[in-house]
Structure 1
Amino acid sequence: MSKKIYVENDYDGLYGRFWESLGELSRDREEFLNHPKQFDLVCFTGGEDVSPELYGHKNLGSHCSSARDKREVTVFEMASKHEIPMTGICRGSQFLNVMCGGTMVQHLRQDHGGYRHGMLAADNRVMEVTSSHHQMSVLAKGGTLLGRAEQLLPLKALVYDGDLEKALAESGNLWDGRAMVTEAFAYPKQRIFAVQHHPEWQDIDEEAAQWTLDMIARICWEQETRQRTLDEIMDVFGCVPLYSRRE
């Protein structure tokens, strides 16, 4: 039976075109809110920054839409209530991280967006991805870092409301005094997998796009994922997480 997938705010059609390779697509918010149990996956798209107030930080230059945040919080809460797996791209990944208790680096002063670069994945592959962002997810407990940009950034290039070095050390984004930029992560117990890069901008047959679809299927739909230990989950996926914030 085909999976049914809800895409929140598919403003350019590219996100839906990418995700519909996994199943039947709906962009109807009311349909999802009224009949959530009919859906197997909820997807969040790119766009404005997530409001810092959602993760308890001061606004240090984020450009937000409180109306969009409110709509998406409603969708997230409905999906969580009915234990529906979720995924996201770019802002969508940042939103999911924040809703799981994570925080955000609000600006990467060193240019990191709008170009193709290497992503080191948890299975030790380096894949070419395209990112277009100026913020970075800092994972909460239960989060697992599964992909990071090859390029490491000096801490002075990051704008964060709080103790940056401590936050990066706890989330697994600190390496030899420099920052590893989050490109992919999971919250396995919530059956959430998300990416910062834009696989929908690539050909569907490209390695990073296929990796993303495969990880969605495994993390979001693998039977009894939440009942397994993280080590068992990673063994199933054939990879070792770059870092995991244990419960």
Structure 2
Amino acid sequence: MALNDSDINNSDTPRPVIGLTTYLEQASTGVWNVPASFLPRVYFEAVNRAGGIAVLLPPQPVSPEIARQVLGSLDGLIVSGGKDIDPARYGQEPHESTDAPRHDRDAWEDALLQAAIDTETPFLGICRGLQVLNVALGGTLHQHLPDVIGSNRYNLGGGIFNVNRVSVAQESLLADALAGDDSVAVKSYHHQAIDQLADGLRVTARSDDGLVQAVELPDVPFGLAVQWHPEEDVDSDIRLFEALVQAAAQHATERARA
């Protein structure tokens, strides 16, 4: 459940701080055309509406120590969508449709996720974020889904999100976040997906063609990732962000007590 106004105004209930990874893209504004940190507004608006404080995390040089320092200032983490992961990270040559690698972002998000796991900081992976989690833990990806399933149902192109239905495993973190719903309609925009599942991950949602649509990491209190884009649907369903914010608030409380 999201924090309500009385919670937010109560000094005894501070809002949890959620870090969101960002893109590094060439951006034009006014007379400037420069590389810039970028994230669609819908991501951090969803965090705000769920009761959290959003902090943007641009790609930058990283080490395990830096990643742990960053996580030490956060109560939760969102690994957002974006360009394809470098296939060399899972031992493959690039498919002709695979994006040019973004080595800085791959390294940054891998290190942040590893630090989140080590510190048991609640995290939510979105689209690319699910793929980063799987690759970070030793899994692989299908590089171009039309070659696998014979359709473009998950990526219509042109910035158009297609609606697909996924089945949710019961007795899972995802089912708890969705109040027990066993099937949900989701907005998809991806051409890659999990192939070999990493050790330690549990599949908690699939589409009717068998593709993995959500995973969780049972070894941590809240480690969830989905292949779809919940930030595009918060007007009708903000529950995944609420679940993360609630877990982050609990994490902050426990860390303060410790």
Question: Shorter chain as normaliser: what TM range?
Answer: 0.5 to 0.7
Identify the residue that residue 115 of structure 1 maps to in structure 2: 162
Give CA deviations for 1:114-156 in whole Å, capped at 9, x if unaligned: 3112111113622111101111113212111111113x1xxxx
Tell me the equivalent position of 1:163.
none
Distance change in 2, residues 1:220/1:35 (3 Å): closer
Which one of 190, 199, 202 corresponds to residue 133 of structure 1? 190
In the superposition, the TM-score normalised over structure 1's length comes to: 0.68
2:226 to 195, 200, 203: 195
Q: Which digits, 9 at most, give the CA deviation of each residue in 1:143-199, with x for residues without a partner?
A: 11111113x1xxxxxxxxxxxxxxxxxxxxxxxxxxx11111101214420111111
Aligned-residue CA RMSD in angstroms? Answer: 2.7
Contact 1:193 1:220 in 2 (8 A): no
Gaps of 5+ in 1: 153-179, 224-247
Q: Equivalent residue for 1:244?
A: none
Q: How does 1:193-232 map to 2 (within 5 A)?
A: 193-206=224-237, 209-210=238-239, 212-213=240-241, 216=244
Indicate yes or no: 2:228 matched with 1:181. Answer: no
Per-residue CA deviation, residues 180-230 of structure 1 (Å, 9 max, x unaligned), is 111111012144201111111113333xx42x346546887888xxxxxxx
Secondary structure of 1:53's aligned partner:
helix
Say yes or no: does 1:149 pair with 2:207: yes
Bigger relative contact order (CA 8 A; separation at least 6):
2
Assess, with a 3 A threshold, how the Cα gap between structure 1 residues 185 and 35 changes in structure 2: closer, same or farther. closer
**CA–CA separation in structure 2 for the residues paired with 1:214 and 1:56:** 36
- How many residues were matched structurally? 192
Q: Quick check: 2:19–2:54 contact (8 Å CA) kept in 1?
A: yes
Tell whether the 8 Å contact from 1:193 to 1:215 is kept in structure 2 after alignment.
no
Please say which structure displays the higher CA radius of gyration: 2
Tell me the amino acid that sits aligned with residue 4 of structure 1: V
Q: State the shift of 1:46 in Å.
A: 0.7
Tell me the secondary structure at the aligned position of residue 93 of structure 2.
Answer: coil
Please state whether the residue corresponding to 1:129 is helix, strand or coil.
Answer: strand
**Deviation at residue 57 of structure 1 after TM alignment:** 2.1
Aligned equivalents of 2:108, 2:67: Cα separation in 1: 12
Deviation of 1:41 after TM superposition, in Å, equals: 1.0
Give the counterpart of 1:52 among 78, 84, 87.
Answer: 87
Taking structure 2 as the reference length, the TM-score comes to: 0.65
**Unpaired runs of 5+ in structure 2?**
1-12, 23-37, 61-65, 155-160, 171-180, 252-258
Larger mean Cα displacement after TM superposition, 117-126 or 76-85: 76-85
Within the candidate set 74, 84, 95, 1:39 is matched to 74
